[in-house]
Amino acid sequence: MLQFVRSSRWASPFKYLNSQSNLLFAFHISTTAESNPSRPPPPPIRVSLTESSGRGVFATRTIGSGELIHTAKPFVSHPSLSTTTSVCYLCLRKLSNRTSSKAQCVAFCSEECEEQSKVFYEVEKQTDWSAYNDYCCSQGLKYPMLAKRLACMVISGVATAESLDILQPAILSPEMILQMEKEFLLLRSVFKEAYVTDEQMAFLTKQWYIGVLARIRINAFRIELAGGLYEDLLSSAAAAVEAEAAVGNSVYMLPSFYNHDCDPNSHIVWIENADARVKALRDIEAGEELRICYIDASMDVDARQTVLSEGFGFRCRCLRCLSGD
Ligand SMILES: C[S@@+](CC[C@H](N)C(=O)[O-])C[C@H]1O[C@@H](n2cnc3c(N)ncnc32)[C@H](O)[C@@H]1O
């Protein structure tokens, strides 16, 4: 039996509404509290309800083009199956050849990442993931890796089962639910084989798994590292074009509240690891909503609408789409 005690239940359907108002409240508090001179100032943003796109992020003051609005650490990350042994198992930083040639096993880029992963990795490493990984690989699935990591975090006690409840879930088709049910059964059986007890897995119900995947689907970011220290816009754009394939996927809290625009005023860049840097793409007025682009903005309007509707469940009515560009 694994020596981790954790029992949590899936939240009620009303939890989402409660979480929503809690978030607006909590964020208001954190950005308006008297600042401690030794602490960096709070980011110039607040999360509020938009007119037609749920919650969104708004500027609380003028933000200059190119300004770093805030940074964010991932809540949960996982390398792609093809990069598992070549990037840090926590922060997704590319490993030097010396570190990655250690054998076919995962590695961390620093003692700090190793220390931060210690508790959930104790659960992960006592479990044989080959059947789950092979299944996801054969089906071309990447998000179950994040669900598996979150489940290990919950079993080890470093996250609660309700951690992602605050995020908006995708609307799932019956086919998607069927697929997730298969992954769920596999995940449970893998934990069972590792002697995780029923009590430790009490949170791991079908409903929990599907709810988590529904949130990951809409809120996960595919991490492509620009590499090097690219601070200005031109360099970061050039670096993004040259970036290698994605190193993994991550879910964040605050960045999940940014809505989409096909001609965005903000963007997120990843330089050396999965720490997100949200930057202004042009001058932004106080009170203006900050929006990022979820998709490849070079596609034509019809292709963009198809991807947004199928992937994120909405029809884009940004100025660019309305102009037919
Ligand atoms: C990552 S979440 C963004 C935050 C979300 N509005 C919330 O309340 O949590 C993505 C979801 O927000 C909504 N959304 C984002 N951009 C939108 C837009 N331009 N128009 C309509 N809905 C949008 C869609 O429901 C989308 O699936």
Rg (the chain; Cα; Å): 20
Ligand 1, atom 27, residue with closest C-alpha? 312
Reported as type and span, the H/E element at residue 18 is helix 15-32
Measure the CA–CA gap between 95 and 108, rounded to whole angstroms. Answer: 8
Query: For residue 245, what pLDDT is reported?
Result: 73
User: How many CB atoms neighbour CB 188 within 10 A?
Assistant: 18
Task: Specify the pLDDT at position 96.
Answer: 84
- Is the shortest distance between the CB of 47 and ligand 1 below 6 Å? no
Q: Atom 23, ligand 1: which residue's CA is nearest?
A: 53
Ligand 1 pocket member 236 (CB < 6 A): no
* pLDDT score recorded for residue 24: 46
Any atom of ligand 1 within 6 Å of the Cβ of 260 = yes
Please list the alpha-helical segments (H only) found in 58-203: 97-100, 111-125, 130-139, 143-156, 174-193
Distance 157 CA to ligand 1 centre (A): 30
Q: Please give the structure tokens belonging to residue 117.
A: 């992963």
DSSP 256: G
Q: How far is the CA of 113 from the centre of ligand 1 (A)?
A: 32
Residues contacting residue 314 through CB under 8 Å, at least 6 positions apart: 53, 260, 308
Mutate to test the pocket of ligand 1, among 260, 310, 316, 317 (most ligand atoms within 8 A of CB): 260
Q: Which two tokens stand for residue 222?
A: 């595919």
The ipTM estimated for the assembled molecules is 0.99
Rounded distance between C-alpha atoms, residue 244 and residue 257, angstroms = 27
From the CB of 20, is ligand 1 less than 6 Å away?
A: no
Give 97 Cα–ligand 1 centroid separation in angstroms. Answer: 40
The span from the CA of 317 to the CA of 52, in Å, is 10
**β-sheet with 68-72: strand ranges across:** 68-72, 276-280, 266-269
Residue whose CA is at the smallest distance from ligand 1 atom 15: 259
State which ligand 1 atom lies nearest to the alpha carbon of 167: 9
Indicate if ligand 1 lies below 6 Å from the C-beta of 268: no
Cβ(221) – ligand 1 distance below 6 Å: no
For ligand 1, is residue 16 a contact (CB within 6 Å)? no
Is 313 close to ligand 1, i.e. is its CB under 6 Å away? yes
For residue 122 the two structure tokens come to 């104790």
Average pLDDT for runs of 10 along the chain of length 325: 31 31 41 59 96 97 98 97 93 78 75 96 93 94 97 97 98 96 96 94 98 98 79 53 75 98 98 97 98 97 97 96 96
- Strands (E) across the chain are located at 45-49, 55-59, 68-72, 76-79, 221-223, 248-251, 259-260, 266-269, 276-280, 289-292
Sheet holding 45-49, edge to edge: 45-49, 55-59, 289-292, 259-260
Q: From ligand 1's centre to the CA of 54, what distance in Å?
A: 6
- Ligand 1 contacts CB of residue 54 (under 6 A): yes
Structure tokens of 247?
A: 């190193």
